[in-house]
Structure 1
């Protein structure tokens, strides 16, 4: 069995990254859904550049990966990341955030970039 422990330095980096409420919520949403930037813009009521900055930090840390579908880019959790088991254990203690996506669907804004 693979050792799922991360070293202290990596754990501190992940905790610092997830210490931001927006990024923490993004990761929780990505735990069960692929999302695009336009959806995060609506959910968080932030500008596209601000959302992209958060995504870039998560990507640089290896927590998030992107998948191109035509001209759109969708983000998901990188389950192959060495830090994934650590992050996943943290996510177990957080409430589901899917209601945010449900609210987008009701507004007709879910995956609005299709």
Structure 2
């Protein structure tokens, strides 16, 4: 399988975007689970506009994508992105973040936006 290379500028932009702890954690969670904004609001205990801003930046670069399910927008990792190989390489070195979603579920706060 041939991996397409991205330029230094694109790599720097991607790394800068993932240099934010909240965005990096979001991307790690999205590596194994699709989520909506409301779940991230609960996980990070921050406002919906702040979460939406993080997701917009990730979406603008193509790292995440959104899918509409009824009135809800569900975010997932964009595995077709030209940046995905770089992102995937970074994510494999990070600890699993599933416990954050499990905590939400245990607290009855895991939202099923369907």
- TM-score norm. by structure 2 comes to 0.96
Aligned match of 1:91: 91
Tell me how far 1:109 sits from its aligned partner.
1.2
Could you tell me how far apart the structure 2 residues matched to 1:32 and 1:14 are?
20
Could you tell me how far apart the structure 2 residues matched to 1:3 and 1:36 are?
30
Could you tell me how far apart the structure 1 residues matched to 2:96 and 2:15 are?
19
Q: How many aligned positions are there? A: 114
Runs (5+) with no aligned partner, structure 1: none
**Equivalences for 1:16-95 in 2 at 5 Å?**
16-95=16-95
Aligned match of 1:104: 104
- TM-score norm. by structure 1 comes to 0.96
**Equivalences for 1:7-18 in 2 at 5 Å?**
7-18=7-18
The two structures, once aligned, show a CA RMSD in angstroms of 1.0
Instruction: Check conservation: 1:63, 1:77, Cα contact below 8 A.
Output: yes
